[in-house]
């Protein structure tokens, strides 16, 4: 049966099947994150929108927020926007040069008006994994809300919202969840009131001109990206069948292989923990004396190797590790990469180094 109808808008079988796809994806994500009620998972078009919904929908005038210096601009910019409007106060807890976060510094930063602690689960620049479980338990003792940006870790590191005391969890579909671009979402713990960013058609309570106040409809106005959510559901199903532990072990193996090769190259500076146990499978580095953008261009044009260069939408993180405004070259390894591909990348870097020596 074709399932390309608008979910939740009609009573015919195609619409019902489309709605079932959306709900099945909700259930799969709930299973992955330990969410007992799937309707607490709100679908958005990406992780950025999920973070904006959580941050702007929750915070009120006079609130104090604690965050880390490793945050992506998807966290920093909504916070700075609200700060610029005179609505909130922000404390940024600075991490060490290799991205370690001291949870005691989070506790020290708590004030009487602290409403929210929002941090990334892992840095998108250097991969350092932050101790969100420990932070969550501290935050819970003070009756403060805890929001986690899981864009870098959903699908590759175990996350249980109950065990980690997470009140809000933002995720994107197109990274380690193996879903398509244009998918993402936000888990909202039951009982937390957040102002929706949009109102409109939901297919429910159509007799009323007032927007529904129940989840997920309260936060899901307009037509779902049903095709994208079907793809996201397929990706999450693969993760559950394959096993998070197996995926994580594979990525650690690849990261270790790459780090060992890069450490043997004297003209390359690696950033972050340099330890696959302490980081995700992204590796940031620079070639001494060569701008990151220039190195990325050569890797792309001469060797067909695609990297991310520059500041990675995280200027604060680069200030933390000492690479602002230069940025870094970032290799992003995934479950389906191979050691042969890493070998090819390393050989390409060695060729670049040889060419630079000759040209001096």
Residue 210 and residue 138 in one domain: yes
Residue 295 contacts residue 350 (beta carbons within 8 Å): no
63 touches 87 (CB < 8 A): yes
**Per the structure block, which two tokens stand in for 220?**
């899901």
pLDDT tens, position by position, 22-50? 999 999 999 999 999 999 999 999 999 99
Last residue of a domain, one of 207, 242, 277: 242
pLDDT of residue 2: 59
Q: Are residues 208 and 253 in the same domain?
A: no
Instruction: For residue 211, give both structure tokens.
Output: 């927007």
Write the CATH number for 80. 3.40.640.10
Candidates 4, 95, 165, 313; catalytic one: 313
How many independent structural domains does the chain possess? 2
Mean pLDDT value of segment 135-143: 97
The residue out of 242, 267, 295 marking a domain boundary is 242
Longest pairwise C-alpha distance within the chain: 75
In a domain, 29, yes or no: yes
Q: What does the pLDDT look like over 277-302, one tens digit per residue? A: 999 999 999 999 999 999 999 999 99
Domain that holds residue 22: 13-242
Checking if the pLDDT of 1 tops 80, the result is: no
Same domain for 66 and 198? yes
Residue reference for tokens 């609200």: 82
> What tens digit of pLDDT does each residue of 323-339 get?
999 999 999 999 999 99
- 95 catalytically annotated: no
Are 237 and 256 contained in the same domain? no
- Name, in order, each residue with C-beta under 8 angstroms of 277's C-beta and a sequence gap of 6 or more: 252
CA distance 90 to 111: 11
CA gap 346, 333 in Å, rounded: 13
pTM: 0.96
Do the domain assignments include residue 3? no
pLDDT band of 6, cuts 50, 70, 90: confident
Could you give the angle at which helices 47-58 and 73-84 cross, rounded to 10 degrees?
30
Rounded mean pLDDT, 226-242: 97
Q: What is the pLDDT of residues 101-113, one digit of tens each?
A: 999 999 999 999 9
Give a yes or no: residue 24 inside a domain: yes
Token code pair at residue 125: 């620049």
Do 157 and 291 lie in one domain? The reply is no
Q: What angle do CA 324, 326, 331 make, to 5 degrees?
A: 105
Confidence of residue 214 (pLDDT cuts 50, 70, 90): confident
**202 and 278 co-located in one domain:** no
Counting other chains too, the contacts that 20-27 makes at CB distance below 8 Å and 24 or more residues apart are 21/226, 21/229, 21/230, 21/233, 22/224, 22/226, 22/229, 24/233, 25/229, 25/230, 25/232, 25/233, 25/236, 26/216
The answer to whether residue 7 is domain-embedded is no
CA–CA separation, 96 and 320 (whole Å):
7
Domain boundary among 177, 211, 242: 242
Shared domain check, 266 and 199: no
């Amino acid at each position: 049966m074709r399932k390309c109808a608008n979910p939740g808008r009609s009573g015919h079988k195609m619409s019902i099947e489309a709605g079932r796809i959306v709900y099945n994806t909700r259930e799969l994500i709930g299973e992955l994150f330990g969410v007992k009620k799937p309707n607490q998972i709100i679908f958005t078009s990406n992780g950025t929108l999920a973070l904006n919904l959580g941050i702007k929908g929750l915070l009120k005038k006079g609130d104090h927020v604690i965050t880390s210096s490793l945050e992506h601009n998807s966290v920093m910019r909504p916070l700075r926007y609200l700060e610029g409007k005179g609505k909130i106060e922000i404390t940024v807890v600075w991490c060490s040069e290799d991205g370690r976060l001291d949870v005691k510094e989070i506790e020290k930063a708590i004030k009487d008006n602290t409403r929210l602690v929002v941090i990334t689960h892992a840095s998108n620049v250097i991969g350092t994994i932050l101790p969100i479980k420990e932070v969550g338990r501290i935050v819970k003792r003070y009756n403060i809300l805890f929001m986690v940006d899981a864009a870098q870790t959903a699908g590759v590191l175990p996350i249980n919202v109950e065990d980690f005391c997470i009140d809000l969890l933002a995720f994107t579909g197109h990274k380690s969840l193996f879903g398509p671009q244009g998918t993402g979402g936000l888990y909202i713990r039951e009982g937390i009131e957040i102002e929706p960013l949009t109102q409109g058609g939901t297919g429910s309570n159509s007799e009323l001109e007032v927007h529904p106040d129940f989840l997920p409809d309260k936060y899901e106005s307009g037509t779902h990206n049903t095709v994208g959510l079907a793809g996201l559901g397929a990706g999450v199903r693969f993760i559950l069948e394959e096993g998070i532990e197996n995926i994580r072990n594979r990525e650690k193996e690849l990261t270790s292989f790459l780090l060992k090769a890069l450490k043997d190259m004297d003209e390359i500076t690696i950033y972050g923990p340099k330890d696959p146990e302490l980081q995700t499978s992204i590796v940031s580095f620079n070639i001494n004396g060569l701008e990151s953008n220039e190195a990325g261009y050569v890797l792309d044009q001469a060797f067909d190797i695609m990297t991310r260069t520059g500041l990675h939408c995280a200027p604060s993180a680069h200030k933390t590790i000492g690479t602002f405004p230069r940025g870094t070259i970032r290799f992003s390894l995934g479950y389906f990469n191979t050691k042969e591909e890493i070998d090819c990348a390393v050989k390409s870097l060695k060729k670049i180094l040889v060419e630079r020596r000759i040209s001096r």
